[in-house]
Every structure is written in structure tokens, then in C-alpha cells.
């Protein structure tokens, strides 16, 4: 039985602070030129998780000197009204980034929403132009924040990615697909051999056991167990799942996609959850926003 220690933890909060420091320096240069980065959040309805996420992002903006504002639209908002609001923000020179928090109500066509964003203000990286740039390896676009955050976690904790067998679990548009595209680029922090697994993959556990770097982003509570992990592998847990727990306040608690207690003893390195990927996602959002502001002014 391996000894349980905490020295294999990837400290997402500390690494996010490193990114914040770099973003603060960019913002200071912009402020010196009279430009304060501005980020607009749009939240539709009262999904409790979305309220929490947007609240955390707003607080981070305030800490770094990004001016943010949040518009809350009713759950019943008509799609054309949401699209009109996005177009108005596209034209607002004080706003450099726009983030429409997902998930959106079923009657809204998410693709139409992301298509309406100006690619230059799409700091989430979800517009088809930015997704296309990512796939083509064009560094001029915005990379979605969670994939960019995972790459920075690996880079900044000294995990060799070039040539590594990376297995990504989950093919969602927000994490799995763009992350696979990012890590297979011919670039620093990439050059991996990437396998993207999903609900229809045969022999999922077999794929996982081959991984030097295993990234779980499929939204299944504690799906990845120790028997699916090669000893010494790096394990990154992107999952945020609410599960019932009668002993927890409110009767539920959040768990990741990885059975942390079982996997930590055999992993080479592992992200805690919370405190791993989450803080890096926010750090990359602010970094993208500062860059969007700089690009808007040709700086």
C-alpha cells in the first residue's frame, strides 16, 4: 500500500496567483495608457451554480482592476433580445470582453449566441472563429479558459507534455474538444499524443491506464478510480458534480470526476478539487480579458 502524502498535489491556487501577477502587470501598462479593461457578464436565469461562478469571476476582476458588470436576464428571455444585447455590448468601446455564462435555457440556441459575439471580445474562446484558430494552431485567437488553464497547470508544475500519452475523458465543447486540440498543437506545453475518450469509447479503463497524463472532464462523479490510473501518472480533475450527501450542509456537496482519495497515493501528481483547475480557469479569463483590451487599442 502506497503512503499517502500531499507532496504530489498541483496547487492550482498558487499557480493561478502566478498568472494573476502577470495579468496585473499587463493591466498596469494599459492603465498607464488610460485604458481600463472592461468585462461584461451575461447570466440568463437563476441557475445557482452559474450565480456562484459569475460571482467568483466578478470578485477576481475587482481584485485585478478589471471593470466588470453583470447583466441578469430572465429565464424566459427571448433569443432575439439576448442577441440584441450582445450586439450592443459588441459595439460598446468600454467593454473588451463578453462572457455569456453557460448553461443557457433550452429555448436558446447556444450556437447562435456564440456566433453573435464579436470574436475580438470572445474571451471565453467559444466563437467558431476562435475555435477554428485553436484547431489551426493560430495564436491570434482566444483559447477557452479551462483548457488554457489545464495547459498552464501542466507547464507551470513542470509536467513534460511533449511526446506524452494524454488521455482526455469527455468531448464537450467547453473543455474536452478544445483541450484535445490545444495539447496536440506543435507548440510549447503541447506536442502530446492525445486520445479523446467519451461515453461510446470501448475499453475506457484500458485507454486510461496507458495515460502519462489523464484529464477527467466528463462530469461523472468520482468516475476515475485507482485501477484506471498508471502508477506515476499525472491526473487532472476538471469535474464539478453536485452529489447528495445527507451529512453535508444543505444535503449535497461537490465532488470531481476523480476518486481523489483512491487515486492520490498512486498518482505522480494530481490536482485537488476544489483548488486545482477552478482557480486557473478564472486566471485565464482575466488574462484573456487584459489581452483583449490590449488588442483593442493596438497595444
Q: Which residues are catalytic?
A: 57, 101, 124
Q: How far is the CB of 122 from ligand GUN (least distance, A)?
A: 10
- Closest residue to ligand GUN in the complex (CB): 102
Q: Among residues 174, 181, 185, 209, which one has the least CA distance to residue 196?
A: 181
277-296 and 12-32 helices, crossing angle to 10°:
10
Distance CA 168, CA 179 (A): 8
Q: How far is the CB of 174 from ligand GUN (least distance, A)?
A: 5
| Contact (Cβ atoms closer than 8 angstroms) between residue 151 and residue 190 | yes
In the bound state with ligand GUN, the residue whose beta carbon lies nearer, of 153 and 233, is 153
Q: How far is the CB of 3 from ligand GUN (least distance, A)?
A: 36
145-156 and 277-296 helices, crossing angle to 10°:
110
What is the Rg, in whole angstroms, of the alpha carbon atoms belonging to the chain? 19
Distance CA 179, CA 145 (A): 10
In the bound state with ligand GUN, the residue whose beta carbon lies nearer, of 174 and 192, is 174
In the bound state with ligand GUN, the residue whose beta carbon lies nearer, of 123 and 166, is 123
Q: How far is the CB of 229 from ligand GUN (least distance, A)?
A: 25
Write out the residues near ligand GUN by the rule CB under 6 A.
99-102, 124, 145-146, 174
Distance CA 154, CA 163 (A): 14
| Contact (Cβ atoms closer than 8 angstroms) between residue 207 and residue 246 | no
Residue 290, all three cell numbers: 487584459
In the bound state with ligand GUN, the residue whose beta carbon lies nearer, of 98 and 214, is 98
Amino acid at each position: 500500500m502506497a503512503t499517502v502524502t500531499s507532496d504530489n498535489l498541483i496547487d492550482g491556487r498558487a499557480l493561478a496567483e502566478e498568472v494573476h501577477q502577470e495579468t496585473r502587470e499587463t493591466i498596469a501598462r494599459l492603465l498607464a495608457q488610460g485604458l481600463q479593461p472592461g468585462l461584461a457578464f451575461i447570466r440568463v436565469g437563476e441557475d445557482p451554480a452559474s450565480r456562484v461562478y459569475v460571482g467568483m469571476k466578478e470578485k477576481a476582476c475587482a481584485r485585478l482592476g478589471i471593470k466588470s458588470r453583470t447583466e441578469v436576464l430572465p429565464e424566459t428571455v427571448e433569443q432575439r433580445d439576448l442577441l440584441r444585447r450582445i450586439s450592443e455590448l459588441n459595439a460598446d468601446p468600454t467593454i473588451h470582453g463578453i462572457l455569456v455564462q453557460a448553461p443557457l435555457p433550452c429555448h436558446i440556441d447556444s450556437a447562435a449566441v456564440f456566433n453573435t459575439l464579436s470574436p475580438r471580445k470572445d474571451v471565453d474562446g467559444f466563437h467558431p472563429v476562435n475555435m477554428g484558430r485553436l484547431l489551426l494552431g493560430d495564436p491570434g485567437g482566444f483559447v477557452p479558459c479551462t483548457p488554457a488553464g489545464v495547459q498552464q497547470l501542466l507547464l507551470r508544475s513542470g509536467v513534460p507534455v511533449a511526446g506524452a500519452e494524454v488521455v482526455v475523458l469527455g468531448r464537450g465543447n467547453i473543455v474536452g474538444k478544445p483541450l484535445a486540440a490545444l495539447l496536440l498543437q506543435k507548440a510549447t506545453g503541447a506536442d502530446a499524443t492525445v486520445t479523446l475518450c467519451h461515453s461510446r469509447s470501448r475499453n475506457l479503463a484500458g485507454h486510461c491506464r496507458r495515460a502519462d497524463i489523464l484529464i477527467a472532464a466528463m462530469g461523472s462523479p468520482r468516475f476515475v478510480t485507482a485501477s484506471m490510473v498508471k502508477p506515476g501518472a499525472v491526473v487532472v480533475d476538471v469535474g464539478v458534480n453536485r452529489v447528495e450527501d445527507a451529512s453535508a450542509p444543505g444535503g449535497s456537496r461537490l465532488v470531481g470526476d476523480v476518486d481523489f482519495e483512491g487515486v492520490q497515493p498512486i498518482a505522480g501528481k494530481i490536482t485537488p478539487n476544489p483548488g486545482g483547475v477552478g482557480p486557473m480557469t478564472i486566471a485565464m479569463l482575466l488574462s484573456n480579458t487584459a489581452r483583449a483590451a490590449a488588442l483593442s487599442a493596438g497595444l
